Amino acid sequence: HGQQAELRRAVRKGELVLYYQPQVDANNGDIVGVEALMRWQHPRDGLRGAGDIFPLAEEIGLVCQLSDWLLETACADLRAWLDRGLARISMAVNISPHYLDQDDFVERVLAAVTRHGLAPESLKLEITEGIAIRNVDDAAGKLSRLAAAGVRLAIDDFGTGYSSLAYLQMLPLHTLKIDKAFVNEIHDDSQRVPVVQAIIALARGLGLEVVGEGVEREEQARFLLRNGCHIIQGFLYHRPQPAAAVAALLAAQA
């Protein structure tokens, strides 16, 4: 309960912030998108990750409030970058199952996009494979309405959950993100990493964009590029960072 009180206090005091991790086109190193990742600037412990926030938020019924805030902040930051004349990039946000369950989920997402005058295509919702399990038809219906409005949908951590292949057919996906567990298996001496190659082939066969996540080493980037995955998110290029730092990177790229 102490932890729960602490999270409530953190929200009141504005200790929660969004960091953004750039995704680059490995052909030229240009930033083509970012993923918003929540952080807790804890006065005593320093920066805490989302894993310290969402499970607690779930326990105290704070998920929807946090999700509204994160969507609003991400859209406002993207708007500010566009207003400065910086490159048009995509903004990816992770969607919690509980938020997706809300009756007005679709309206909340579209309202945030509209409020900031963003093209719906610039927003990408990241859904993990487990998310739709609770009510697949309901989730698929909502996500289809958003897709029809132009909002893009990414399946996150692909290959680690259940029913992956079924979801590929049920959800109106735009992007597939290869989980970093698979990227991790790419080493210098691996001539062939069959699972990664198969996932890329699957994504391309379905006409999906494919993002390689958790890329930390050159040889991993080279392998992905050689095998048809050119959008890369990983510490090799950029770590998650505050909005101002991303703006500086985009300005340097212009």
Listed ranges 50-58, 82-90, 132-140, 198-206: which one lies at the site for ligand G (CB under 6 A):
50-58
95 in helix, strand or coil?
coil
Within residues 79-98, the interface with ligand G by CB under 6 A covers 94, 96
User: What mask, x for binding ligand G by CB under 6 A, covers residues 104 to 123?
Assistant: --------------------
Q: Which does 159 bind (CB under 5 to 8 A by kind): Mn ion, ligand G, Na ion, none?
A: none
**Considering the rule CB under 5 A, would residue 213 count as an interface residue with Mn ion?**
no
Q: Which of 135, 150, 235, 248 binds ligand G (CB under 6 A)?
A: 235
Name, in order, each residue with C-beta under 8 angstroms of 237's C-beta and a sequence gap of 6 or more.
22, 24, 29, 215
Q: Cα separation of 223 and 133, whole Å?
A: 33
Q: Cα separation of 34 and 233, whole Å?
A: 9
**Considering the rule CB under 5 A, would residue 179 count as an interface residue with Mn ion?**
no
Tokens of 95: 């969607």
**Considering the rule CB under 6 A, would residue 156 count as an interface residue with ligand G?**
yes
Q: Which does 117 bind (CB under 5 to 8 A by kind): Na ion, ligand G, Mn ion, none?
A: none
DSSP code of residue 241: B
Q: Which does 113 bind (CB under 5 to 8 A by kind): Mn ion, Na ion, ligand G, none?
A: none
- Cβ pair 230, 42 in contact under 8 A: no
Q: How far is the CB of 156 from Na ion (least distance, A)?
A: 4
User: What mask, x for binding ligand G by CB under 6 A, covers residues 185 to 224?
Assistant: ----------------------------xxxx--------
**CA distances, 101 to each of 131, 153, 171, 228 (Å):** 10, 16, 15, 35
**Considering the rule CB under 6 A, would residue 77 count as an interface residue with ligand G?**
no
Identify the H or E element spanning 24: strand 16-25
Total number of residues that touch ligand G (CB under 6 A): 23
**Which is closer to ligand G, CB of 148 or CB of 235?**
235
Q: Are strands 16-25 and 231-233 parallel, antiparallel or unpaired?
A: antiparallel
Q: Cα separation of 159 and 140, whole Å?
A: 19
Contact residues toward ligand G (CB under 6 A) are 21, 36-38, 49-51, 54, 70, 94, 96, 126, 156-157, 180, 213-216, 233-235, 240
Interface ranges with Mn ion (CB under 5 A): 94, 126, 156
